[in-house]
Chain A
């Protein structure tokens, strides 16, 4: 898939909470095809302590309006600087990067934890375009840490799990009863302990499973080999051979 570098304009900025915001970015002309699960490398300007671009997954795509959106969690210097951007500002993106979700399966379960739910919205939209209504399970320590809730409803059956019980079932996502329904594919993105637990479960039950990994990156295009994941097939670049991996190739990783 051809990659591009373009300046987008921030068409809309929505603050979800003190930790999360969404940037809707408008392409200067016709937005090229972007697959669910792919990510962009965003240039961060105006902070001398930030040297590299930041990898951020594509939250949603609007083909008609030539926009793509990013759901960003403020976690460090780079994302704090990005949080100061305003509507109308310009943002340089290298995109679309990495291998996305397969969007396969007739009865999939999409599991997202915290900011890891970001790429699942576009994935749910793509499933719905194929005539599949997925189950979506969103989790967080508390309800406040689940940045978006209603946006999935047009495409998916939505379930929640929180550790404090403030929304949906009390407990970890992997303890949620939705796992008892029969799914032919699980797609997961979230904190590593959650994804490891989901990958182990799927591998034990022999359910097809894709997990989207996160690592700090430099180039984002498979040139520097900094962002490797320890897969059963050796070190693989999360930016190029991922971020979406088949859980069957992560048996060793998911046990640690």
Chain B
């Protein structure tokens, strides 16, 4: 059995897609049956339309990439009006990643999401490294994290997932603060702050100089943090960071993750999510495991 629960959310399997790597799901519909996924987390959505950062926004790095997209998105009203009607009938959990520059903006967007019948959960992004105001600022201090989660909790009564940044001294303290403020789940890790230099041009590769590192390179850091956080909190942990195979996903699950998200690997193999689901089922068959929940947190 592959089913897992994140608070009130029932997932047919633990495999979801990471925000910002899967568009609104539609982009991948030619390659996979979206309905087979445990859930999809769609693009980070803010209170109003954002153009994002200037080009170049991407740098390939060893076993990974840096991005500095900067939350380019259509804004919550255009999402509700134009995009939601197109994706609400996917046969999987459609979860919206919510971001903002102020507590008011987070709350306003969360409140609008609360009214959408077919969005059963939001992922509160207090960890984006690529915006000047807000974003990661809310996720680097336990007090700030608690404030924003508490405020959103008041206006949002469905499943509230809080996405954490690894760019902190103690991610456990931030996770505990989010739990105390009413989060139903935490997802981790967002990207690691990084930088690349083009030595021929003697300039940073990214227009913003620094950006967020993702891909296989970050996986061991993510597994370690998932293990630490899952030992310290009572709410379900969603693990992500460099997952590109069933074995990677199982590492996170054994380290304590109830569900996992696949991000950058979608760019290399747009069918990777299905391969990971099938690979987990195959692993369970080979090892005589009846319920995926039986191997969660065994480390």
Q: Are B58 and A51 in contact (CB under 8 A)?
A: no
| A-facing residues in B221-261 (Cβ within 8 Å) | none
Question: What sequence of 0s and 1s flags, for each residue 207-220 of chain A, a beta carbon within 8 Å of any chain B beta carbon?
Answer: 00000000111111
| B-facing residues in A192-246 (Cβ within 8 Å) | 215-230, 234-235, 240
Question: What sequence of 0s and 1s flags, for each residue 196-220 of chain B, a beta carbon within 8 Å of any chain A beta carbon?
Answer: 0000000000000000000110000
For the complex, would chain B's binding face be called helix, strand, loop or mixed by DSSP majority?
loop
Number of interface residues of B (CB under 8 A): 33
Chain A CB within 8 A of B81 CB: no
For the complex, would chain A's binding face be called helix, strand, loop or mixed by DSSP majority?
loop
Q: Are B56 and A53 in contact (CB under 8 A)?
A: no
| Minimum-distance CB pairs A-B, first 10 | A226-B58, A223-B23, A3-B30, A219-B267, A223-B27, A218-B267, A226-B57, A221-B27, A225-B69, A225-B72
Contacts of A215 in B (CB 8 A): 55-56
Q: Are B52 and A228 in contact (CB under 8 A)?
A: yes
Q: Are B28 and A218 in contact (CB under 8 A)?
A: no
Chain B CB within 8 A of A10 CB: no
Beyond A217-B58, A224-B67, list 4 extra A-B contacts (CB 8 Å): A3-B30, A218-B58, A227-B58, A228-B55
Q: How far is the CB of B264 from chain A (nearest CB, A)?
A: 8
Contacts of B216 in A (CB 8 A): 51
Say whether, besides A51-B62, A51-B65, A226-B57, A219 and B266 are in contact (CB < 8 Å): yes
From B27, B56, B63, A51 is in contact (CB under 8 Å) with: B63
Contacts of B297 in A (CB 8 A): none
Q: Are A235 and B30 in contact (CB under 8 A)?
A: no
From B27, B57, B271, A228 is in contact (CB under 8 Å) with: B57
Interface size range on A against B:
20 to 34
Q: Are B51 and A223 in contact (CB under 8 A)?
A: no
Q: Are A235 and B52 in contact (CB under 8 A)?
A: yes
Contacts of B61 in A (CB 8 A): 51
Chain B CB within 8 A of A91 CB: no
Q: Are A48 and B63 in contact (CB under 8 A)?
A: yes
A78's nearest neighbour on chain B, judged by CB, is B60
Q: Are B52 and A5 in contact (CB under 8 A)?
A: no
Chain A CB within 8 A of B283 CB: no
Chain A CB within 8 A of B182 CB: no
Chain A CB within 8 A of B115 CB: no
Chain A CB within 8 A of B91 CB: no
Q: How far is the CB of A232 from chain B (nearest CB, A)?
A: 13
Question: What sequence of 0s and 1s flags, for each residue 35-59 of chain B, a beta carbon within 8 Å of any chain A beta carbon?
Answer: 0000000000000000110111110
